[in-house]
Amino acid sequence: MNDLPDIVVIPNNTQEMVRITKVAYRHEVPLVPFAGGTGMGGGAVAWKGGIMVETKGLNRVLEIDEQNMTVTVQSGITIEVLNAELARHKLWLSHQPESKQACTIGASVGCDNDSTFGVRYGKIRDCLLNAVIVTGRAEAIRVGQRKASFSSTGYKFLDLLVASEGTLGTITEATLRVVPLPEAREVRGYLCRCLNDTARGLERLLGSGLAIESGHANCRNRLHFYTHSYRERYGREPQLPEWADAILFLSFAGDRDIVAFSVDKATRIMVDEFNAERVGEQELVEGWWDSKHRLEFVPFKQKWPDSQRQKKFGAAGMAGELGTFVDVQSL
Ligand SMILES: Cc1cc2nc3c(=O)[nH]c(=O)nc-3n(C[C@H](O)[C@H](O)[C@H](O)COP(=O)(O)OP(=O)(O)OC[C@H]3O[C@@H](n4cnc5c(N)ncnc54)[C@H](O)[C@@H]3O)c2cc1C
């Protein structure tokens, strides 16, 4: 066992994927999809050799349907590239794992990913409408529902794909529900006396119907991590009260006036009901948002040192270093 594939191929469409799978089926060799390489479970490792399918060739947006608020893509597109494309239509895919720079749609389905905005929009399953999968017998099938919302009896084969990690076949296309790009976004931080207050506060706020799109309750250690990052970035101590032992970060998004109201109301709830204090130094809060969402906080020594940044997000396109590239047409 050497954990390396015998060959690496890059399909550009479903037909090519069918062609590759036929070869694997005929010769009874394993076929392993490899996308961004950021998966934590080792599912993209060709531990029995065989054919590695590098999905970066499946990187096209096939349709943006503004009327039905859906997008149809090939499965190897990264979430970051897809959202840049959608932004031109004032739309976005709310499903955003922190690894969005490298993480692809196909792998996100395969790994049942969660998202920074999960408290509001759910996980990938909640926006996935249908998908095309090439099974181990080289059959291309579409599973799932049409774009319009509907319900029916019958087995939900689409659900089987979620978290299947490529074991049921290779996803080549997917149609996903998208939402309007928010007009405004605000981020806030609230210092609390204990972690329990951040958790109960978050629960209270989520039940209040405010325009909250993400929440992050942090213990003392994490609070120190953010103050450390602040110190590194600005060369000064953030001004925090002695009693602060936990921090709740929130982001709000939607229409401008709704966001303004939500921020104001959330602050009143946290201060009046949970004895919290709003973080005055907004740079500290922006530091959290940079690390969580923009992934741009340069002196981020403790979380992802610069030396690891490339390893964590730069795996896409590395499959070729793992085995010999073979042209699909030659198979
Ligand atoms: C720094 C960092 C931050 C992360 N943040 C999050 C986060 O916020 N939320 C979260 O849920 N996860 C997160 N992850 C985990 C990881 O990014 C996700 O699990 C992601 O889905 C992996 O995508 P990938 O494109 O890198 O896939 P890979 O690692 O290449 O593959 C993952 C699995 O999916 C299979 N696969 C790939 N493409 C297909 C396809 N087309 N059809 C079928 N199967 C396929 C592979 O065979 C493998 O089993 C993070 C990881 C890192 C390193």
Query: What tens-digit pLDDT sequence spans the chain (331 residues)?
Result: 567 899 999 999 999 999 999 999 999 999 999 999 888 888 898 989 999 999 999 999 999 999 999 999 999 999 999 999 999 999 999 999 988 888 999 999 999 999 999 999 999 999 999 999 999 999 999 999 988 887 889 899 999 999 999 999 999 999 999 999 999 999 999 999 999 999 999 999 999 999 999 999 999 999 998 888 888 888 898 989 999 999 999 999 999 999 999 999 999 999 999 999 999 999 999 988 888 887 664 444 445 545 555 555 555 556 666 778 888 888 8
* Largest interatomic CA distance in the chain: 69
**What is residue 300's predicted lDDT score, i.e. its pLDDT?**
44
Residues 30 and 117 in one domain: yes
The CATH number covering residue 46 comes to 3.30.465.10
Please report the pLDDT score of residue 303 as a whole number: 53
The Cα–Cα gap between 24 and 31 comes to 6
Task: Please check whether residue 190 lies inside any domain of the structure.
Answer: yes
| Contact between residue 246 and residue 218 where contact means Cβ atoms under 8 Å apart | yes
Residues 109 and 246 grouped into a single domain? no
Instruction: Please tell me whether residues 71 and 111 are part of one structural domain.
Output: yes
**Cα(34) to centroid(ligand 1), Å:** 9
In total, how many domains does the chain have?
A: 2
Answer whether 102's CB lies under 8 Å from 55's CB.
no
Backbone angles phi, psi at 216, to 5 degrees: -145, 105
Q: Which of 93, 113, 125, 309 to mutate to test the pocket of ligand 1 (most atoms within 8 A of CB)?
A: 113
At residue 257, the pLDDT reads 98
Residues 68 and 21 in one domain: yes
Which atom of ligand 1 lies at the shortest distance from residue 76's CA?
41
Residue 202 belongs to what domain range? 184-303
For 293-323, letters b (16+ CB in 10 Å) and e give: bebebeebeeebeeeeeeebbebbeebeebb
**Which atom of ligand 1 lies nearest, measured to the CA of 114?**
11
Is 309 within the bounds of a domain? no
Residue 304 pLDDT: 53
- Choosing from 10, 47, 98 the residue with most ligand 1 atoms within 8 A of its CB, the one to mutate for a pocket test is 98
